[in-house]
Structure 1
């Protein structure tokens, strides 16, 4: 049996437990947790997926991500993904959640932020082929010139629309 997730409705209410692969095939909503990582200097961690990966081979992302497990909160899933993909155990801060019409399937997308340092990172090679730190301006340039996972682009546009308190607003975040 594959990974189990909670099937949810358009209000993010649990409808039942399903296999993630089935949710994707049927276009059923489920939950995903994402983490954007920054260092003490405010730079963003960017990574490239392995060319041999089953999802988004060779594409870049500025988020580590994974499905929320049955009975797991968004925050718990975000911390788990941070440990699994980067080998880092750090607190995460929720930023925003939105209904994403994902490239593979639709899902609720909860974005969190964590502060991590390079010395703490031990990336899982099956998930991350390369990683590096970019300033906000360099991240903006990379988004315009490199193949980023489409769902991470969607989250990036929403992130830029946050105001300085981390709430949805009309301001543009600059670094």
Structure 2
């Protein structure tokens, strides 16, 4: 599979734009850039989990709790989250931004914006087979077991832990 590089905004520790670089450069140099992810829930409060395709360049075959990717140049976190949901899962929704933090797990440090979306028709999710090998809806106890037994991307555990803490605070 041919990997096409993305243009992203290099940002500082306060999430201010410093310039435009390729995502490959940002990863190689350890420069902060922006990633937007969404935790999807259905009306029964189950959480969407998926396994990445073996063909993707980053973390092939690993599971994820969130759906997302890099924010393109000039794109807000919310725009990036909505675009990634549509591209990867066929979900048309406007995710709600919950919080951002500098995530140092994964390939390189990045600002991670965590969103939430309620998916009213979980059976209508149509993943891109080039991106997603499997998907399913898990209850929180099921997901807790999966997080200790399955191989997840480096972002998944920290992002989901912070997501649960955010929800518990009732924000």
TM-score category (smaller protein): over 0.9
Match of 1:173 in 2: none
Match of 1:48 in 2: 51
Q: 1:17 aligns with which of 15, 20, 24?
A: 20
CA contact (8 A) 1:143 1:153 kept: yes
- Cα deviation, 1:6-60, whole Å, max 9, x if unaligned, reads 1000110000111111111111000000011111111000001122332112110
Match of 2:103 in 1: 100
Q: Superposed, which structure 2 residues align to 1:58-137 within 5 Å?
A: 58-116=61-119, 117-137=121-141
CA contact (8 A) 2:20 2:73 kept: yes
Shift of 1:166: 4.5
Structure 1 unpaired stretches of 5+:
168-175
**How far apart, in 2, do the equivalents of 1:121 and 1:73 lie?**
24
> Secondary structure of 1:65's partner?
strand
- Deviating beyond 6 angstroms after TM superposition, the runs of 4 or more aligned structure 1 residues are none
> Secondary structure of 1:137's partner?
helix
Match of 1:171 in 2: none
Match of 2:158 in 1: 154
> Secondary structure of 1:129's partner?
strand
Query: Quick check: 1:143 aligned with 2:159?
Result: no
Shift of 1:160: 2.3
RMSD (Å) for aligned C-alpha atoms: 1.4
Count of matched residue pairs: 167
Shift of 1:143: 0.5
Structure 2 unpaired stretches of 5+:
none
